[in-house]
A and B are shown apart, each in its own frame.
Chain A
Amino acid sequence: MTELNGIDVTFRICGAAGDGSLAAGSFLNRAAARMGYHIMNIDLYPAEIRGFGKSVAHTRISDRPVQTPGSLADCLVSLNDLHAITELDTLAEGAVILYDSKPPNYVEEDEAIAGFIEPGMIGYGIPLGELSSIATKSARSRNIVALGALSGIFHLPSEYLRDAIRERFTRKSEEIAESNIRAFDLGLEYANTRLVKADAIDFEERVPGARDDVVIVSGNEAVARACLDAGVRLYAGYPITPATKIMEILAKELPKQGGVVVQTEDEISAIGHIIGGGFAGKRSITATSGPGLSLMSEFLNLAVMAEVPVVVVNGQRGGPSTGLPTKTEQSDLNIAVFGGSGDSPRPVLAPADVTECHKLTVKAFEVAEAFQTPVILLTDLFLANRVEDITWPEGDLAIWGRYENRIADPVAAEDFKRFVITPDGVSPRSIPGTPGLHYPATGLEHDERGMPEYSPENHLRMTEKRYLKFNTLRDAWPAPVPEGADGELDVGIISWGSTIGSAREALEHLHTTDMNAGGLFPRLIWPLHEDALKEFSSRSRNLIVAEGNYSGQFANMVEAVVCREVIRITEIPAGPIPSERIIEVAGGLNR
């Protein structure tokens, strides 16, 4: 949506796998962020590793911070017409379509996007393939030619884009870099000399000013960077979309810091490894997705029972089972919270954006250590893969509380009770190898020393202790602060994880209407801050819970707390829930 008073343009670069649409998107992101724009990008790609499926780079560029990638595109770049035609209904009014005006072969009726361009859209035909061939002797740089054309059409300062291209290709070779720059320049020149500008998008007018401290990162990259920042020593994992990227980065970076990355034979082994690491007092983490989390269920219980600090990142995707490996969803909340056998409490955190992926990962280690528990960090495919411009967080993360690693004092080591009952439920733990502080750690119910003990009394005491820790955490973690209007609300919107962006954007919009709207967005999903929820609910005439799953997993939890029926926006559109949807629901409510 282009607004008169600013730049807010959403691009969709669509191609078949191998057309380079994603690469083009990444150059665009990088350049736009360097210019000082805010960006949000999400790549949509096929499930198959190699295939001819659709892949789309979706990028929103704005001069204000962006909460969502936006649902309607202002500009569609077609690198593959058959796929791009299916994107036509995602176009905003007056959208620009950029296409290859001279593909090498004739296609059948209705297989060329140029055939669908009509008044109300703006079509720019560019001989992408031809120009690419001229520049790089092959059609592989059509994406780069398209970028050049975008730069020409929308007056996107070309130097930033050239830099982004050069940076990427110089790694391969100087020659490849130069030929790609040539491809870019040909596209630019073609747009400048052969196209008549018919749209109103103009970046040059208002470049917000270059920023140097900005980085372009995805949720996964933020998690990986947080691992490095938090001093992780062990990563063990088994590849799975969308979590693999975390392992890829750590495999490269962690050994440089003296850490270890193990690719295990499966997810069971992975969590086994990190429980070992956590038991040994080293920060240990694994990352997986729904199917992997299922496999880890039993070992998670071990970590609960043996009170071992580990962090499990779960990038949610469509399920059940293998499900929709490349589509986002927020449907692993139940297994994360309730997936244990027995009474098996484990904290669950869910970041709202890329910056929070970093912050909450760091926080997850603190919580895991302070409360001697496995912590599950719920991201999702959309959050894991989406790219934002951020500055690396520095300093204090106290808004989410302060936590200390309680280590037993070796001097008072006589009769070491590893699981001693304390007022807050947390028992000082020892690091294996500390003289006198050894103890048995097993999955069996145990007494304070860790020795197996099955009496109902003991079981009750120890279960209470484990839940007590949990309450301590809830008290230590500051309650979520309501956003938006104070006082009585026409509508209160509760959301979690990556849907928070859409909810916030909806709030922004609702504030421009006469509707009193507010939001409550917990990051600590379990244990819930029940009082905060109740308070918010009591102020809200209508209470909406918005989340990306079918069964309303969070709504169920909220309803149990607030004891009223909430209005559910529980959708699985194979992408993020658009803010327009929330606005629509909120707008239709009785006040």
Chain B
Amino acid sequence: MASEHYVIIGNGVAANAAVDILRQGDPDSRITVISREFFPFYYRHKLRFVISEELQEDQIVVRPPAHYREQNIRLRLGQEVQRVDLKEKTLYLKHMEKVHFTRLLLCCGGWPRIPEVHYTYRHHFTIVKGLSHAREFKEKLAGVKRVLMVGGDLVSLRITETLLRMGREVLFLIDRDSFWPLTLTDEIRTEFAERLTKHGAEVLIDDEITGIEEVAGIEEGTSGYEVTTRREKRISCDLVGAFFGLVPNVEFLFSSGLDIDRGILVDDHLQSRNPDVYAAGDCAQIWNPAINNYWVSIGWENARLLGEVAARNMLGESATAGAPKESALDYEGLKINTSWWHIYD
């Protein structure tokens, strides 16, 4: 049998869990990991400490590139797959290189969701997903006194905490899209607001942005924003952080022939419509009879498990994803499910 070339798109926890299993199970195969980020595999949840400069970048690294060399794994960092041709089993990279695979594992994760209603001024939003965002955020913070947080998700709560600790004013706008994909009841919303207020953030409930205008910032050469809302408030701030959750990063798979809904549709073996293509982690959309719904994983542990399951199946075993264990973020007594999000709620 000709030797396999496993290509993994993504270099997060799901990808790395899979890579370990693949290397172990098929020592002579070619393995290539392609990641959009030009930075080795790192702890994403520690990004806020990079923002606050409590940690240096290299302190959040899980695995340095040397690890991959030792394991005879080709690590392609900072490279973006633009198109997948399943018939030719070829990936087309943004820098115009082709990569051929025999089996493909998609661990391309999520990307910050910007609701379409905000498209007109989306370029004024600052997002935090990857390390480059954290760097940018950190850099921008230098000239920032007042931050407007819109949306609201797990990351935003942590960042708010960090910002307040760094002595910045935080204004939190909880609108109808906040805490997507959860639907907040009025009660929970009020509770959130109270807790945020207790921490020192200012909270606006039940309002939404209708326009953002860039204006000169407090320091020369910086820029600030004038934000208008549905309730005709005018808010001045130096930075607008957008936190509307993550959506699977699957746009490059459109018209590849894979089934894409919100995420990549896979069965409970994490196999896609194409027998040589699997998906794991935050980009996979899985039907789970136990919860009677499609689900998309959230969180480190889920992603790791899914990565392993996918890899085992790629090696010819038969592992199933199973139901995710329920775990919750305890935000001072308020429980938020951090295990998965349902596609429809």
Contacts and interface: CB of A to CB of B under 8 A. Distances in A.
Do A and B touch each other in the complex, judged by CB within 8 A?
yes
Interface of A: 99, 101-112, 114-115, 117-120, 123, 125
B93 interface: yes
Interface stretch (B96-104, B209-217, B254-262, B279-287): B96-104
Interface of chain A: mostly helix, strand, loop or mixed: loop
A99 B95 CA distance: 10
Contact of A106 (B75, B78, B92): B92
B40 A107 contact: no
6 cross-chain pairs, A with B, having the tightest CB-CB distances, nearest first? A112-B97, A114-B95, A103-B96, A106-B96, A115-B97, A109-B99
A118 B75 contact: yes
A115 B65 contact: no
A110 B32 CA distance: 12
A118 B97 contact: no
A81 to B, nearest CB: 9
Contacts, number: 53
B105 to A, nearest CB: 18
A120 B96 contact: no
Given A115-B93, A118-B65, A123 B99 contact: no
Contacts of B341: none
A110 B38 CA distance: 18
Contact of A119 (B65, B92, B96, B98): B65
Nearest to A120: B65
A131 to B, nearest CB: 16
Contact of B77 (A106, A118, A125): A118
B82 to A, nearest CB: 10
A123 B92 contact: no
> Which one of B92, B97, B99 has the highest number of Cβ atoms from chain A below 10 Å of its Cβ?
B97
B78 A117 contact: yes
13 contacts: A101-B94, A101-B95, A106-B96, A107-B97, A108-B98, A109-B97, A112-B97, A114-B93, A115-B79, A118-B75, A118-B77, A119-B77, A120-B65
B40 A111 contact: no
Contacts of A108: 97-98
Nearest to B95: A114
B8 to A, nearest CB: 15
Interface string B77-118: 111000000000000111111111000000000000000000
B39 A115 contact: no
A115 B77 contact: no
B96 to A, nearest CB: 5
A117 B35 CA distance: 12
Given A117-B77, A119-B64, 11 more contacts: A99-B95, A108-B97, A108-B98, A109-B97, A109-B100, A110-B97, A114-B79, A114-B95, A114-B97, A115-B79, A123-B38
A495 B213 CA distance: 69
Contact of B97 (A104, A106, A120, A123): A106
Given A115-B79, A118-B77, A119-B39, A105 B96 contact: yes
A197 to B, nearest CB: 12
B95 A125 contact: yes
Given A118-B75, A119-B39, A119-B40, A112 B95 contact: yes
Nearest to B91: A109
Nearest to B100: A109
Nearest to A105: B96
A118 B38 CA distance: 7
A111 B95 CA distance: 11
Q: Which of A112, A118, A120, A125 has the most CB of B within 10 A?
A: A118
Contacts of A104: 96
Max chain B C-beta neighbours (<10 A), residue from A99, A102, A106: A106
Interface in B269-312: none
Nearest to B139: A196
A95 to B, nearest CB: 15
B76 interface: yes
Contacts of B75: 118
Given A119-B40, A120-B65, A112 B100 contact: no
A108 B91 CA distance: 10
B95 A115 contact: yes
Nearest to A112: B97
Contacts of A103: 95-96
A109 B75 CA distance: 14
A127 to B, nearest CB: 10
Nearest to A81: B97
Contact of B96 (A102, A117, A123): A102
B280 to A, nearest CB: 24
A120 B96 CA distance: 23
A99 B94 CA distance: 13
Interface string B139-173: 00000000000000000000000000000000000
Nearest to B39: A119
Please indicate which of the listed interface residues B38, B40, B65, B94 has the most CB atoms of chain A within 10 Å of its own CB. Answer: B38
A107 B65 contact: no
Contacts of A119: 38-40, 64-65, 77
B4 to A, nearest CB: 15
Given A118-B77, A119-B40, A112 B65 contact: no
A125 B92 CA distance: 17
A49 to B, nearest CB: 30
Interface string B308-330: 00000000000000000000000
Contacts of A110: 97
Nearest to B61: A119
A101 B93 CA distance: 11
Contacts of A109: 97-100
A103 B95 CA distance: 7
Contacts of B96: 102-107, 112
Nearest to A119: B65
B3 to A, nearest CB: 15
Contacts of B76: 115
A104 B95 CA distance: 10
Interface centre among B38, B65, B95, B98 (most CB of A within 10 A): B95
A115 to B, nearest CB: 5
A120 B40 CA distance: 11
Contacts of B93: 112, 114-115
A186 B99 CA distance: 31
B16 to A, nearest CB: 16
Contacts of A106: 92, 96-98
Contacts of A114: 79, 93, 95, 97
B342 to A, nearest CB: 38
A109 B92 CA distance: 10
Nearest to B5: A109
